[in-house]
Structure 1
Amino acid sequence: MKIAKLSVLRPVAMGMVICLVLILGIVSLRDLSVDLFPELSFPIVAVTASYEGAGPEEIEQLITQPIEEMMSSLPSVESVSSTSRTGGALILVAFDWGTDMDFATLNMRERIDMIREGLPNEVPTPQVLRFDPSLLPIVQLAVSAPDGNIIEARKLAENDISPLLDSVDGVASVQIEGGAEQEIQLHVDPNRLTAYGLTLTELQQIIASENLNLPGGQLQDFNLNLPIRITGQFTSIYDIKSLPVPTREGILPLSDIVHVVETLKPTTQASYLNGQPSVGISVLKASGTNTVAVARNINRQLEELEDLLPDGVEIRTIFDQSRFIEQSIRAVAWNIVLGSILAGTVLYLFLRNLRSTMIIGFSIPISIITTFLFMYFSGQTLNVLTLGGLALGVGMMVDNAIVILENIYRLRQKGMSIKDAAIEGTTEIGGAIIASTLTTIVVFLPIIFVDGLAAQLFKPLALTVAFSLFASLFTALIIVPLLSSTFMKVNEDSSFFQQGFQRLSAFYKKVLTKSLKRPKTVIIGTFALFAISFAGIPFIGTEFLPAQDQSFISIDTRLPAGSSLESTQEVANEIEERIQEIPEIDLIYVTVGGTDNFTIGAGTQTNRASYSILLKEPNKRAKSDLIVAEDIRNLLQDIPGAEISVSASDTGFTENPISITVKGRDLQTLNQLSNEVIRLISTVEGVREPSSNFTVGSPEITVTVDRERAANYGVGSAQIASAVNNATRGMVATRLARGGDELDVRLVVEERYTASVEELSQLLIDTPTGERIPLEAVATIARDQGPSTIRRADRLREVTVTASILNRDLGSVVNDIQDVLKEELAPVLPTGYRISFGGQNEQMNDAFFKLAGAIALAVVLVYMVMAARFESLFYPFIIMFSVPVTLIGIVFGLLVTFQPFGVGSLVGILILTGIVVNNAIVLIDYINTLKQKGLSSYDAIVEAGPTRLRPILMTALTTILGLIPLTLGFGEGTEIQQPMATVIVFGLSFSTFITLILIPVIYYAFDLRKQKKLLKKQEMQT
């Protein structure tokens, strides 16, 4: 190898190059963005539209259907689903993976513009929003004021806290929820207003026209141009009360006509922190910014703000994404350090030479820092998965260096000079090292062709491992020869460990010679183990991604549709009373009404309460978040009239574990079928909280206009709707500017006129002739019940049943559910109705199919690399026998650790495909080298096996021990890497020991057969 010779003969120049690489790597590390997961891009776009006061059926007909039809015709659309509820619609458009989402979003906005004129005039332009997890809040805060003064808390959040947080570098927006705002209400008696000869609209116009500051031109005085301002703007509530209003009774102050009162603005949402009224603040970061850096800046700003806040004001952090990121990354980083220490210990035990161990130990930080340089220029971020890739690669990083160092050390022991040993040792084994590294790297190439969520998650991990292996190859071929030629010292070691290894080597040689004489026994025995491992597969469950304990639990509570905010508040109070005694809970934050910040929603939801529960850190509690969630379920299961779901370990980008969709024509039939599904799956072990998204119709009042009678009076439907709306909701006449705040001045019809259907029917409608007629004269008013939510998928009605799981794997639960539904429900399923599975089960099956294809392609690529290295199809074929035997260790490891088989396990197998052949490559390469020197196949195998035993065991043990911390799951955030590490550790362990015997036996058996064929061919020719 010329590069090795150059590094040995030009140490100063090479040292300067290494220093430059290290400096660039350290600078790159400083500039790498830190996040929890890689930036994800989902091919989903949401269209939200609002239509205040409209019911679900009107929303569906006037908004949802036109938008659905237009969106369905877009190219690359996979599905269109919608939710229509009172006041708004949400349409989700899912595209095929790999679609250019910028272009797709632009297309959607153009289509919205095309149908804008066809939508009702009262509907604002629908909003098109990309579904981007990075747009979710990174920090959520709760502000509570002394004595529960929620008005002051809201003002403080809007005027003081929000502007300061908005100014933090990296913050995109600050959203405020909850709290209360003041307004001035003018309570109107319609009969009294009629007596004064006024209408509600006229009164509104009079008030609005008086609350103005207007320019009045200019006046020239003493050579000065002075602008004239006419000031008539209200400055106090007294100005409103004393406003003169012309009536048929004369000019009267407004307070004689209406009752003026300053009160709280009606709200459909309220927030509480640990039972105290509070205001919620959600902070969103700018796209592409460093989550941890932004969150740190926010926390630093909050610390400075605390000294300026009034006494009694408290700001608590409900959710801080950076907290879990830092804990996870810290845990993975410590696993890297611990793995490096364990790998270094193995090196010292085998080499018993401190200088040689230091050479290898020095290669680890160099490889890691060089990897950071590659990550920076490829646009990767520091996150749990990329650091997990480093943790996976830390043991493999030293493999190349070990093999080269051991070869140099062996040549030095034979008496070769230190520089010649460095050059010759690297040259002799360099080709095999490059081939073995490439076989590990090429297994990641197929992931490039895989799409979906799993690919987005694990592509950065694959790239990081590939970068670390490139860096380790650079270290092994350049730095190890350089340091070996300078610092290596050979010592005769007769330690207990060395004597033990010599006995082990002798024992291995003895076993190897016996195996070569009984090849059938070895092959049959291996095949038997392989068959037994296949028998163990049914006992391993399956999952998509493992649950992560983020010390966060959410509770979603829903009352019957149409429930008031007050009734929802009562249930929320009862829930809080029950759960506040759970010792693992740190704080409880609840939003009553509306939606939580992690859900795209539309419309009014006063029947909903969303809890955000922050748990104590995992090391300060004995129970996992899943167990705490189960405790909460048990405490809340008997609350009447409320549907309560509790979720924990939510990664934020996975769907419900169980999701069963029933599609058909009739909504009531779908409801009956979904209830039957709930009943059946409730009997399956491990299923928790099965619920349907079908909601009972909301009670409503329908005002049916009699068009002929209305036309006789000269009024239309729009005028009637406006009169009813103004009477029930009021109308903002103007705004009062006072003390830096602006208060709405709202005209409100006295509640007694809209307190019942009978009172509403007597509501007076103004006609063009000046006559006032009751509402019942032109319309029929009746109580009714309409649907609260209408859900569709691909323009078909559907109802979805979802559930959580506990103490069982996803695959086993889904299999049991499918068996139950097939046996009980399928025979009675009406024609035209069908049941399909979605959620994590669909994500899991899709990922399994694509990653299995990637593994198959990886095997082909590994074979091709080895064929190029050996310039033969024969030797790679033999080496590939080391791949399937890894199944023995994989199955055993998953059974022993009670881990289900998931996406992480599949990625582990993908990595293992490239790793396990490395030892066989080194062994076969040396056997061929000995054969070229004139040894027979048998002698070459018997000599090569014990000679390569030490580097093979060293490389295997460093990789295995380097992954032990991840396998044991030390620290937070290691749950995703744990299955990968388990698969690699157990698969490599079994494969190494089997490979040391099986590969030489197969090599010898095929070589004998090859020789026999050659002899037979020669005999035939003679």
Structure 2
Amino acid sequence: MVSATDARTANRLIPRLQREFDERLPGAQVLVRKLEQGPPFQAPIELRLYGPNLDRLQTLGQEARRILTNTDYVIHSRATLQPGTPKLWLDVDEEAGRLSGLSLTEMAAQLQGALHGVTGGTVLEATESIPVRVRVAGEGRQELQDLASLSLVSPRSDDAVPLSALADLELRPSRGAIPRRDGQRVNVIEGYVRAGVLPSTVLADYRSRLDAAGFSLPMGYRMEFGGESAGRNDAVGNLLASIGLIVSLLVTVLVLSFNSFRLSALILVTAVQSAGLGLLSIRLFDYAFGFTGIIGLLGLMGLAINAAIVILAELKADPAAARGDRAAIVAAVRGCSRHITSTTITTVGGFLPLILAGGGFWPPFAIVIAGGTVLTTLLSFYFVPAAFLLLSRRCAFEVSGSDFEVTQLRAA
């Protein structure tokens, strides 16, 4: 028995366990999956077929599933439109039944009693009365011929008549649950991919195979792709739906605070650079970039803006630095470096437990913020003063009072 003590060991065990289950239980569908990031989804690969006729949907689903099964890296597949449990249908010869003295009602009552059972008394178990149900034993009802040999008693002569002499028996699959999506009948073809393989790569291969096979839908039917890619796109779209309003408010606040479009643009450039450094951090630590990583990037951009604002406020507070004096700029950056460095250390320390705990969910989020904060802080100490120096050569800044209100005067 192998125990997994960390995420890397668990990731190595997943494909091994999947192979063993497939080999030892070929008649069962066993899925060994790791904890996924981002929005929940039923299967990594989904093809949704919509249409009015259930039999046609099932036929189309079987063809689409056959193509999906032949796609590389797909280990299991299934369709949501499944037949129900088999049912026994009786085609009764009413004339033979009348000759035997058995009506349809009497046949149904005797079959109900033989198969479902009849309560014939009770057994007292301690203080509880347990009913005793009498019916045909299990070994006498397993096969179709066993049911055909069941005897029905004629009320006229008390003779036993076999069921096969009165009716033809046939097993037919019943209609199972009808899956719907947004009020429409749907057959979802689900595919599960091998661990470590990107679902987007498999989906692209599957779509190309559908086109190569000439898979098309008749009039009144349509299809769409779901799964991991659709869930991720919907989640990111909802997340970024209000990004325009947030950026507009951010630019407004920065312009009102510094009274300068150039300095506001400098802060936004720093935020964009921090996003790139966050991606670099997650790449250096070899973590997957998922939904939690996107959330971490948004938080990292806020921290990067904060560091840039502190440095620019310190530079604008010094009249010599505002005029472009290099020595004054260096001294101003040194003066605020202690505060920024302490903030960076506390931020990294706060995310260390999530990083050390391991796993595949929280570490990418913590790595993006912690690693990106360290790299952005180092970048801010060099990029922001250098960019401020370049801007000061084109325009002069005048400092008024202790509240650091700044008026930008164009250079003559």
User: Aligned residue for 2:59?
Assistant: 669
Q: What amino acid is the match of 2:67?
A: V
User: Aligned residue for 1:679?
Assistant: 69
Q: Give the distance between the partners of 2:216 and 2:260, measured in 1 at CA.
A: 60
Please point out which of 354, 374, 382 is paired with 1:989. 374
Please give the residue correspondences for 1:852-891 in structure 2 after superposition, counting only pairs within 5 Å: 852-870=240-258, 875-891=263-279
Report Cα offsets for 1:568-623 as digits up to 9, x if no partner: xxxxxxxxxxxxxxx22xxxxxxxxxxxxxxxxxxxxxxxxxxxxxxx4626x993
8 A contact 2:107–2:152 mirrored in 1: no
Please point out which of 345, 350, 361 is paired with 1:976. 361
Q: Give the distance between the partners of 1:889 and 1:691, measured in 2 at CA.
A: 42
Report Cα offsets for 1:384-413 as digits up to 9, x if no partner: xxxxxxxxxxxxxxxxxxxxxxxxxxxxxx
User: Aligned residue for 1:488?
Assistant: none
Answer yes or no: is 1:806 the counterpart of 2:202. Answer: no
Distance 1:1000-1:714 versus aligned 2 partners, 3 A rule: farther
Q: What amino acid is the match of 2:388?
A: Y
What SS does structure 1 have at the residue aligned with 2:241?
A: helix
Q: Give the distance between the partners of 1:983 and 1:718, measured in 2 at CA.
A: 73
Q: Shift of residue 642 of structure 1?
A: 0.3
Distance 1:704-1:806 versus aligned 2 partners, 3 A rule: same
Q: What amino acid is the match of 1:657?
A: P
User: Aligned residue for 2:314?
Assistant: 926
User: Aligned residue for 1:829?
Assistant: 216
Q: What amino acid is the match of 2:123?
A: L
Q: Shift of residue 795 of structure 1?
A: 4.3
Answer yes or no: is 1:737 the counterpart of 2:104. Answer: no
Q: Shift of residue 1013 of structure 1?
A: 7.8
Q: What amino acid is the match of 1:956?
A: T
Answer yes or no: is 1:1000 the counterpart of 2:390. Answer: no
Q: Shift of residue 780 of structure 1?
A: 2.9
User: Aligned residue for 1:838?
Assistant: 226
Answer yes or no: is 1:899 the counterpart of 2:280. Answer: no
Distance 1:805-1:1005 versus aligned 2 partners, 3 A rule: same
Q: Give the distance between the partners of 1:934 and 1:694, measured in 2 at CA.
A: 72
Q: What amino acid is the match of 1:949?
A: S
Distance 1:927-1:764 versus aligned 2 partners, 3 A rule: same
What SS does structure 1 have at the residue aligned with 2:43?
A: coil
- RMSD of aligned residue pairs (Cα, Å): 4.0
Q: Shift of residue 884 of structure 1?
A: 0.6
Report Cα offsets for 1:618-657 as digits up to 9, x if no partner: 26x9931x43342233224345760332324357965333
Moved over 6 A (4+): 707-716, 750-753, 769-773
Q: Shift of residue 659 of structure 1?
A: 3.2
Q: Shift of residue 727 of structure 1?
A: 0.9
Q: Shift of residue 905 of structure 1?
A: 0.6
Q: Give the distance between the partners of 2:139 and 2:340, measured in 1 at CA.
A: 89
Distance 1:797-1:851 versus aligned 2 partners, 3 A rule: closer
8 A contact 1:661–1:798 mirrored in 2: yes
Please point out which of 70, 75, 88 is paired with 1:688. 75
What SS does structure 2 have at the residue aligned with 1:701?
A: strand
Q: Give the distance between the partners of 2:27 and 2:303, measured in 1 at CA.
A: 54
Q: Give the distance between the partners of 1:1014 and 1:668, measured in 2 at CA.
A: 73
Q: Give the distance between the partners of 2:179 and 2:103, measured in 1 at CA.
A: 33
Which runs of 5 or more residues in structure 2 are unaligned? 397-407
User: Aligned residue for 1:660?
Assistant: 47
Q: What amino acid is the match of 1:824?
A: A
User: Aligned residue for 1:105?
Assistant: none
Q: Give the distance between the partners of 2:287 and 2:263, measured in 1 at CA.
A: 35
Answer yes or no: is 1:960 the counterpart of 2:348. Answer: yes
Please give the residue correspondences for 1:295-314 in structure 2 after superposition, counting only pairs within 5 Å: none
Q: Give the distance between the partners of 2:277 and 2:230, measured in 1 at CA.
A: 28
8 A contact 1:966–1:977 mirrored in 2: yes
Q: Shift of residue 756 of structure 1?
A: 4.8
Q: What amino acid is the match of 2:197?
A: R
Answer yes or no: is 1:796 the counterpart of 2:185. Answer: yes
8 A contact 1:757–1:781 mirrored in 2: no
Q: Give the distance between the partners of 2:12 and 2:207, measured in 1 at CA.
A: 26
Report Cα offsets for 1:162-197 as digits up to 9, x if no partner: xxxxxxxxxxxxxxxxxxxxxxxxxxxxxxxxxxxx
Q: Give the distance between the partners of 1:871 and 1:734, measured in 2 at CA.
A: 93
Q: Shift of residue 982 of structure 1?
A: 1.7
Please point out which of 327, 339, 346 is paired with 1:951. 339
Answer yes or no: is 1:763 the counterpart of 2:151. Answer: yes
8 A contact 2:69–2:76 mirrored in 1: no
Q: Shift of residue 922 of structure 1?
A: 0.9
User: Aligned residue for 2:404?
Assistant: none
User: Aligned residue for 2:410?
Assistant: 1014
Distance 1:756-1:828 versus aligned 2 partners, 3 A rule: closer
Q: Give the distance between the partners of 2:174 and 2:192, measured in 1 at CA.
A: 23
User: Aligned residue for 1:299?
Assistant: none
User: Aligned residue for 1:911?
Assistant: 299
Which has the bigger relative contact order, CA under 8 A and spacing at least 6? 2
Q: What amino acid is the match of 1:895?
A: R
8 A contact 2:17–2:32 mirrored in 1: no
Report Cα offsets for 1:94-120 as digits up to 9, x if no partner: xxxxxxxxxxxxxxxxxxxxxxxxxxx
Q: Give the distance between the partners of 1:718 and 1:890, measured in 2 at CA.
A: 76
Distance 1:861-1:908 versus aligned 2 partners, 3 A rule: farther
Distance 1:841-1:938 versus aligned 2 partners, 3 A rule: same
Distance 1:856-1:991 versus aligned 2 partners, 3 A rule: farther
Q: Shift of residue 914 of structure 1?
A: 1.2
Identity %: 19
Q: Shift of residue 988 of structure 1?
A: 2.3
Q: Give the distance between the partners of 2:9 and 2:225, measured in 1 at CA.
A: 31
Answer yes or no: is 1:623 the counterpart of 2:9. Answer: yes
8 A contact 1:727–1:748 mirrored in 2: yes
Distance 1:870-1:732 versus aligned 2 partners, 3 A rule: farther
User: Aligned residue for 1:363?
Assistant: none
Q: How many residues align?
A: 391
User: Aligned residue for 1:257?
Assistant: none
User: Aligned residue for 1:783?
Assistant: 170
Please point out which of 20, 28, 51 is paired with 1:635. 20
